[in-house]
Structure 1
């Protein structure tokens, strides 16, 4: 039965690519990607999708199949080519062996630490910063990007994994670049993960958004006006609903032919994705961004 389901899913994946349309209820996905590319003078010249079943729930006559799709887009912009990759998590429904439904599982949402209340931290107060011992460090952007590339579609066993994992992944990238942890064991202070515990700023998007530009010691960032000012290893925070609560975080890992950021992310694992997320199902016209450039002591 599993082999039959896998074959049916593979047939749908071929349709996904060859007809430039998604599966059943998600037919606008590739069109959104094409429109996003067109706005920056780029085009998709080749696309590939590979599916893998991750779980099954069987009933008498019906069954639900959960699977992941690894999407690859070869994008041409001017005389440059970029390989964008992404992972979709989907659920297919079968009735008596016939595919009757297929939809993407929405994973975007506010990263809410179960013990954090509203999950927000506003960095250091001036008084606390003055009392804290100054931590000197140099941010190695290359190492941060190398880590982001190594783990974009995998999970480092040295760290705890979360269902909504985007900020945890970005924190790991920043730490790989030399950003020092500090503040343990106060969860509302500093930026850290150790001993099966972590600060809100390490794992919650809205907390990181507040922490980075307000920190006066150790890891810190300055807000810049536009995405074009960001360098490799810098961070973008996303408020999809425009309601003031930021719910996604990415790291800049490359630049396109126009010098604009391409980013890596977790949750909807992605690599070399255009920074604006206009092709995301989470995108709304009310979206707000924060562009944060990491600063260090050298």
Structure 2
């Protein structure tokens, strides 16, 4: 790991997948008229698999980009899962590891009649508290909640809850939005279900669909359908705006901070991507 620590960026850029990842980042920065001032990073080894021909080492690469966007300095951070083979003391086959599997969608189960008959309650959404939570836990995990392999929606739900979003529907997992005693609704933890819950809920936590990303403010939520196939894969929370007034987001699974909202630098991005933009608390 010492050898990796000394030259992690060279190895990362030399791998085919790493080059592709870096090129995507550069294209996005160029499109935004943003300049990379400095790159720093560190690796954290978390799994070693030994086999007859050598060893496979898996690690998390935490990369921080200091970006100048017009007159604004932004520290963007992302944690990328990587792996390499170690054969006779030589590192080979260095690459970005397999991405986490896409979340299997659960069919949204919203009792619309029950919603219509519910009191049309409003809540005061503390956006500052939601963003503070998003910043505190973007690259770690609150022990008061479970952690999932695909953790993006669980993380966003925790952020909204920290902002005062009211829970309801327990203990029916297909109803409402809630977490209680190590159990949770589908909408709390599944990207597809949260997207449909936010558009359908008329009581408690609900989202107002907006037309464009530029309308979002910190504390709002973006949903992503990477393939454009109606299967919603990912959620992020807006934590800031860049100099052009566009959202910067935090996320889990591939943990990210101050990432540009469009995810065009992601290996999951496709030209068919669809987005939903939600104002939370209205």
TM-score range, shorter chain: over 0.9
Secondary structure of the 1:69 match is strand
**Mapped contact 2:100–2:149 kept (Cα < 8 A):** no
Q: Distance in 1 between matches of 2:110 and 2:198?
A: 7
Q: Which residue of 1 aligns with 2:65?
A: 73
Q: Which residue of 1 aligns with 2:117?
A: 131
Q: Distance in 2 between matches of 1:173 and 1:201?
A: 14
RMSD of aligned residue pairs (Cα, Å): 1.5
| Residue 37 of structure 2 is aligned to residue 38 of structure 1 | no
**Mapped contact 2:123–2:281 kept (Cα < 8 A):** no
Which runs of structure 2 are paired with 1:1-298 in the superposition (5 Å)?
A: 6-15=1-10, 21=13, 23-112=15-104, 118-121=105-108, 123-125=110-112, 127-296=113-282
Q: Which residue of 2 aligns with 1:115?
A: none
Secondary structure of the 1:71 match is strand
**Mapped contact 1:108–1:267 kept (Cα < 8 A):** yes
Q: Distance in 1 between matches of 2:118 and 2:103?
A: 28
Between stretches 242-251 and 26-35, larger displacement belongs to: 26-35
**Mapped contact 2:223–2:277 kept (Cα < 8 A):** yes
**Mapped contact 1:122–1:214 kept (Cα < 8 A):** no
Report the TM-score, using the length of structure 1 for normalisation. 0.90
Give 1:124 deviation, angstroms.
4.3
Report the TM-score, using the length of structure 2 for normalisation. 0.95
Question: Structure 2: where are the runs of 5+ without partners?
Answer: none
Stretches (4+) displaced over 4 A: none
Question: Structure 1: where are the runs of 5+ without partners?
Answer: 1-5, 113-117
> Relative to structure 1, is the Cα distance of residues 122 and 292 closer, same or farther in structure 2, using a 3 angstrom cutoff?
farther
> Relative to structure 1, is the Cα distance of residues 182 and 22 closer, same or farther in structure 2, using a 3 angstrom cutoff?
farther
